[in-house]
Structure 1
Amino acid sequence: MPNVRPVPTVRRRRLGEALRRYRNSAGMSLDMAAATMGWIGPKLSRIETANGHIRPAEVAALLQSYGVVDPEVVSALEGLAKDARKQGWWQTYSGVVAPAYADYISLESDAASVHEFAPLLIPGLLQTASYARETIAANATTRTPEEVAALAEVRQARQAVLTRPQHALKFWAVIHEAVLHQRFAIRPNTMRDQLRRLLDVTDLPNVTLQILPLDVTPHPGGAGAFSLVGFPGPMPDVVLLENLIGATYVEGVDEVRTFADAFERIVAAALPTDDSLALIARMEERCRK
């Protein structure tokens, strides 16, 4: 049987990027660093480019050769190596969940926080089942009804990160007011129930919700939706950008900082949380009439 080249995952890319960064900081070439492990340069190159595997014990030894002994850093990178091929509940849906989406779900399950700007749709972590089915069906135009139903189940299952017993995900969403005006002709109660869901979920202490008003002045969110995923400890954050054909990840430290700064400016432009909830409540009441 021919060797199958491993497909890079976000976890492996983050690990490889971190190892490359520490190697460069130590002033070591690929060949020099590989020699400390008894390897040849191409093996380390494959690891750094996320095309090769490395065991957790090897991560610790490699970091030691770079002079990195901070236990928090070592533990975090060992964890990435250990979890690079980790299977999760979403594997049950592997027939409908694309690899890039599976990557994101795994990152979301590891994350300490997610900051999301949503100019077009209610964020997936806050969607009702009905809203999820309707919007997935509208966007996933090539999917069968059965696949749409399965993807809606996945979206609902993801929401467990908001209520997990230990270290619940800290979720901060800024939603454009235009999203709240969306209507569903076939199921008119969909938006009413969705608005009620937004009000209910903010009872969770780890959920912050703001609305960006229609009359807001120009802001960085004009460039489109994004999710900024933050991790505990020394691990760098990741940004997710989505479109009709898949997802793109932004992983460079400077590039991620650009999105973090943009989110801060969007937050400053949005309504305060109390005013945001009052607006949602008024719209929900209007839907009930």
Structure 2
Amino acid sequence: MQDTGSTVPRRQLGRYLLDWRTRAGLTLVTAAELLDISHSSLHRLEHGQTGRIKIGQVEAACELYGVPEELAAAFTGLARQSNGKSWWHEFGDLIPRDFDVYVGLESAAVGIATFQPELIPGLFQTGDYVRALNRAAFPNASEELQDAWVQLKLRRQHRVTRKHRPASVSAVIGEAALRRINGSPKVMAVQLRKLADMSTLPNVELRVLPFRAGFPTGLWVGPCVILDFGITPAGSPVEPPVVFIEGSTVGNLYLEKPHDVERYHRTYDRIRQRSLDAVSSRNLLRQVAKEYLA
């Protein structure tokens, strides 16, 4: 059997192409006719079910749908990567560095489990917390760009706070994330209050791993996110789950092999079990917030 590589890039590419076809106001049948392919082929492409993607079809679709040049370059990069045997965010010049693949995956997930030992998870960050992080990381970025980054982060949170079918989130945050000051004590106080408030949502479970818990797995575990895409009526996954590991040097890593995903589930469960329960975590968040304003 031919190894067609990771399914992640072609699944994500399919989502983008479907979105842009919809924006262009084209039905599946009409778009397929204009692209001179069968509607079943276009359907498979949009649902990540094509074994090897024809780059020319992706380029033609981008032109037909009016996809901006920089995004078209990213989409064709996803197409080329999907035909490979590994899946990294940083892999030469296939995908522009400013194209965030993770955000697209997160927007499709119905369940998110995350462990963040040092930072507040992005889905819970306040605008001022985001701005302080980005100013430290990119001090020369313009105010307009800083504002855009903040708005992008806040828009992502709608997946959690919306009333209709919000994503379920289970998060464990290291106590260090509460104690390490980002921006100012006031920024941290507002941030921790927001965390405490969001932890009361029925679709959110938030726990704090206290310093006294030590290393639940016997090793230091870095930040990770497990993305789940739901179950079909027949009981099978809509899409295989993905583990996202953010990297600052070698690039972001996406794991989808079942044994890798299961290993991270076990690791997350062990960390969660050693964490404070939801009520104790909420109380600690509010206590530390008060300390920042004392």
| Smaller-chain TM-score bracket | 0.5 to 0.7
Shift of 1:219: 2.3
| Correspondence for 1:190 | 187
What's the % identity of the aligned pairs?
31
| Correspondence for 2:241 | 237
The residue type equivalent to 2:107 in the other structure is S
Pick closer, same or farther for the CA change 1:15–1:153 going to 2, 3 Å: closer
| Correspondence for 1:57 | 40
The residue type equivalent to 2:229 in the other structure is F
Pick closer, same or farther for the CA change 1:150–1:9 going to 2, 3 Å: farther
What pairs up with 1:211-222 in 2 under 5 angstroms? 211-220=208-217, 222=220
| Correspondence for 1:228 | 226
* Contiguous gaps of at least 5 residues in structure 1: 1-7, 17-53, 63-76
Count of residues in Structure 1 that have an aligned counterpart in Structure 2? 222
3-state SS of paired residue (1:114): strand
| Correspondence for 1:267 | 272
- Tell me, yes or no, if the aligned pair for 2:208 and 2:276 is still in contact at 8 Å: yes
What pairs up with 1:1-289 in 2 under 5 angstroms? 10-12=8-10, 57-58=40-41, 79-80=47-48, 102-140=100-138, 143-184=141-182, 187-220=184-217, 222-233=220-231, 234=237, 235-245=239-249, 246-289=251-294
Shift of 1:204: 1.2
Shift of 1:167: 1.9
Distance in structure 1 (CA, Å) of the matches to 2:42 and 2:97: 25
Pick closer, same or farther for the CA change 1:256–1:281 going to 2, 3 Å: same
The residue type equivalent to 2:200 in the other structure is D
Distance in structure 2 (CA, Å) of the matches to 1:271 and 1:260: 18
The residue type equivalent to 2:244 in the other structure is L
Pick closer, same or farther for the CA change 1:59–1:249 going to 2, 3 Å: same
Q: CA RMSD in A?
A: 3.5
TM-score by length of 2: 0.65
Distance in structure 2 (CA, Å) of the matches to 1:119 and 1:196: 18
TM-score by length of 1: 0.66
Shift of 1:98: 6.0
The residue type equivalent to 1:180 in the other structure is L
- Tell me, yes or no, if the aligned pair for 1:59 and 1:78 is still in contact at 8 Å: yes
Distance in structure 1 (CA, Å) of the matches to 2:202 and 2:276: 19
3-state SS of paired residue (1:193): helix
- Tell me, yes or no, if the aligned pair for 1:129 and 1:156 is still in contact at 8 Å: yes
- Tell me, yes or no, if the aligned pair for 2:226 and 2:244 is still in contact at 8 Å: yes
3-state SS of paired residue (2:246): strand
Distance in structure 2 (CA, Å) of the matches to 1:124 and 1:197: 12
3-state SS of paired residue (2:214): coil
Distance in structure 2 (CA, Å) of the matches to 1:211 and 1:115: 14
